[in-house]
């Protein structure tokens, strides 16, 4: 028999974790952030200006409900309707926890997208109408990632630190 593997029935187990253990993990009650844009309605059409057929600049985004304890925001824009896999169009982290991102602006550190470029890559579906999600996450810390990190690296660093999240979805089809 291996010593220490069986607990004596008369022993009481005490929780030695700190009260903050697990703060920010998936078991925590994650708050909701409302995400909207003055350029398009939720579930509406993203204007051509913000696509590969236009100026290819990011649309203005606004947030409500960012928790006071947030140290930074992360923004991920993707297209789940892409042919092979969910296509990442934009990733930005270490955004100050502010209520607005202006049109055509960079407010944090940008990573590499599935276009194999750093920065915003607007909607550009090969065919049909695609959905584009702008997802925002409030984190309890700044991330120590260098510019050019990819989405997998970003999401790995976010684990255990998300305290609020929200999303806005817009649609676009080439005409």
Question: Would you say residue 70 lies in a domain?
Answer: yes
- So what's the pLDDT on residue 174? 84
| DSSP assignment letter at 12 | P
Question: Would you say residue 134 lies in a domain?
Answer: yes
Two tokens, residue 151: 């989405």
Residue 123, domain CATH = 3.90.280.10
Question: Would you say residue 71 lies in a domain?
Answer: yes
Question: Would you say residue 85 lies in a domain?
Answer: yes
Regions in the chain scoring below 70 on pLDDT: 1-28
Tally of structural domains, the chain: 1
Q: How far, CA to CA in Å, does 123 sit from each of 19, 34, 146, 157?
A: 44, 22, 25, 26
Two tokens, residue 141: 């810390």
What is the value of pTM for the model shown? 0.83
Q: How many CA atoms lie within 13 A of 100 on its CB side?
A: 7
Question: Would you say residue 53 lies in a domain?
Answer: yes
Residue 36's domain spans which residues? 31-173
SS (H, E, C) 31-65: EECEEECCCCCCCCECCHHHCCCCCCCCCCEEEEC
Question: Would you say residue 149 lies in a domain?
Answer: yes
Q: In what order do the strands lie in the sheet with 34-36?
A: 34-36, 61-64, 100-101
Question: Would you say residue 41 lies in a domain?
Answer: yes
Q: By the 8 A CB rule, do 164 and 30 touch?
A: yes
């Amino acid at each position: 028999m291996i010593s220490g593997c069986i607990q004596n029935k008369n022993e009481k187990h005490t929780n030695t974790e700190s009260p903050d253990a697990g703060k920010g993990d998936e078991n925590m009650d994650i708050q909701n952030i409302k995400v909207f844009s003055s350029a398009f309605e939720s579930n509406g059409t993203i204007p051509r200006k913000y696509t590969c057929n236009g100026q290819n600049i990011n649309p203005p985004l606004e947030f409500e409900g960012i928790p006071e304890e947030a140290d930074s925001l992360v923004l991920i824009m993707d297209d789940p309707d892409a042919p092979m896999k969910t296509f990442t169009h934009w990733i930005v982290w270490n955004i100050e926890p502010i209520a607005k991102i202006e049109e055509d602006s960079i407010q944090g550190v940008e990573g590499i997208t599935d276009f194999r470029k750093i920065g915003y890559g607007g909607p550009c579906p090969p065919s049909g109408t695609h959905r584009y999600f702008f997802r925002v996450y409030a984190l309890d810390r700044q991330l120590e990632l260098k510019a050019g990190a990819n989405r997998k690296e970003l999401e790995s660093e976010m684990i255990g630190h998300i305290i609020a999240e929200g999303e806005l979805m817009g649609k676009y089809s080439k005409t």
